[in-house]
Amino acid sequence: MAETTTRAAEPRGFRSAELGWPELHRIPHPPRRLPLLGDVLGVNRATPLQDSLRFARQLGPIYRRKAFNREFVFVWGADLVADLADESRFAKHVGLGVANLRPVAGDGLFTAYNHEPNWQLAHDVLAPGFSREAMEAYHPMMLAVAGRLTDHWDREQAAGRSVVVPGDMTKLTLETIARTGFGHDFGSFERDRPHPFVTAMVGTLTYAQRLNSVPFPALLRRAAQRNADDIDYLNRMVDDLVNTRRTAGGDGDLLDRMLETAHPETGERLSPENVRRQVITFLVAGHETTSGALSFALHYLSRHPEVAARARAEVDRVWGSAAVPGYDQVAKLRYVRRVLDESLRLWPTAPAFAREAVQDTVLAGRHPMRRGAWTLVLTPMLQRDPEVWGADAERFDPDRFDPKAVRSRPPHVFKPFGTGARACIGRQFALHEATLVLGLLLRRYELRADPGYRLSVTERLTLMPEGLRLHLERRAGSGATAAPVADPDEAPAASESRCPVSRAGD
């Protein structure tokens, strides 16, 4: 059973850094700090994460920023993050945009405070829903949804149109989690416009982020009303879904576990309100981050045809002439998984996580922290730390995840799913789904990038490539096995001449 930390300070709203860091003056901040306003010169309200990465490069592995009367400490140095991963001294901190999602997700798995008992109850009840046995049961449904994607892409390709990658990946991942977890079909691929659930979800995520960029929430009065309407819609939709299931029954998916399964030790069950919050959490978190991960991976594959060719050769070798891959065949796509991991390294779609001290302590032996003090870990900078990843850390190269390379790195330097007891419960689900989909798309299509496109990243708490379109060419045979190829994992590590790499923004 995962252990919940109960020693963390009770939440008392936002806690500015000066309340928890006795030697805050030793931590650098941007040079042009203004009275009352703080460090707001040159920042863009639409790209707070990318602004934070820019400051990180200027100020180093730990720094602070002030916006109006609120001060934040940011961390990305590998040794500092490794210390923050110590579960005996630090726990998840629910703050910033995550806390702003509590009106819709409450004490769901992602947004619960550490002291709230429903987190542990839901975690223990739902963890078996991500076992190997459960994952094997989800696999055919993942294949069915992926078939709807390829049917759509086949039509677009035949008509000579490019495909809208982020939008189509959002449809794919929403349908996948909805069908595997809750037996629901949103009909996303039959719609010309996003499903209202997606519109409401994006609205709540965007509003949660905007709350961090204004000194007074009252300035967002109209946006607050739209957010309240979005929350009402999400609640009604989920309540209808749950009520239908209570009437019709199900077949052992996540929703059935929420409704029927008691805690194995206490016999406690999830309350109706908690079921609603967990369903919303899974529907949002279960598709939003995976769609971003797939979109970034497809961008890089289209930009690096030699990487795509190597990944495609692995798919042909491992899957052979099988019409569809079996569950176990997906895990054998080791190079495809490296492509996914490298995309998540450069652009982790959940780009930060917060940690708070559960006792008075000293971070990495250098920075005193009082109980309840917290910091935000910038995952994209941690995963680009040149002291860990090398001087070319900004470049895309899947062979960074060759087993030998992975063993040579210290722990806690790759954290796209968070850390500790509160790390993403659906990690294996997301990785299986994304690897499967990349394999299917590589097997079926040649991916052609628009030469004029330059990666632009949109932020709504999660990250997504903006405006990404790809041109498709159907492969000859589309799924038939090509000539036998060598196992890429037995080949020497790729050099720049065999496997070109580029800057992350290319």
- Catalytic sites, residue numbers: 289, 417, 424
The identity of residue 315, as a single letter, is V
C-alpha dihedral over 421, 11, 278, 297, to 10 degrees? -60
Residue 172: partners with Cβ closer than 8 Å, 6 or more residues away = 145, 146, 148, 149, 188, 291, 294, 437
3-state per-residue secondary structure call for 481-503: CCCCCCCHHHCCCCCCCCCCCCE
What separation in angstroms does the CA of 498 have from each of 301, 340, 501? 15, 19, 10
The burial of 50, by beta-carbon neighbours within 10 Å (0-12 exposed, 13-18 middle, 19 or more buried), is given as: middle
**One-letter-per-residue 3-state SS of 272-337:** HHHHHHHHHHHHHHHHHHHHHHHHHHHHHHHHCHHHHHHHHHHHHHHHCCCCCCCHHHHHCCHHHH
Query: Could you give the CA distance from residue 479 to residue 324 in angstroms, rounded to a whole number?
Result: 9
Q: Nearest-5° angle of CA 349, CA 203, CA 382? A: 20
* Interatomic CA distance for residues 435 and 304, integer angstroms: 18
> In this structure, is the dihedral angle defined by the CA atoms of residues 312, 502, 380 and 361, taken in order, positive or negative?
positive
Assign 368 to helix, strand or coil. Answer: strand
In whole angstroms, what is the distance from residue 384 CA to residue 413 CA?
A: 9
What b-and-e string marks burial along 399-421, b requiring 16 or more CB atoms within 10 Å of the CB? bbbbeeeeeeeeebbbbbbbbbb
* CB-neighbour burial class of residue 364 (10 A; exposed 0-12, middle 13-18, buried 19+): middle
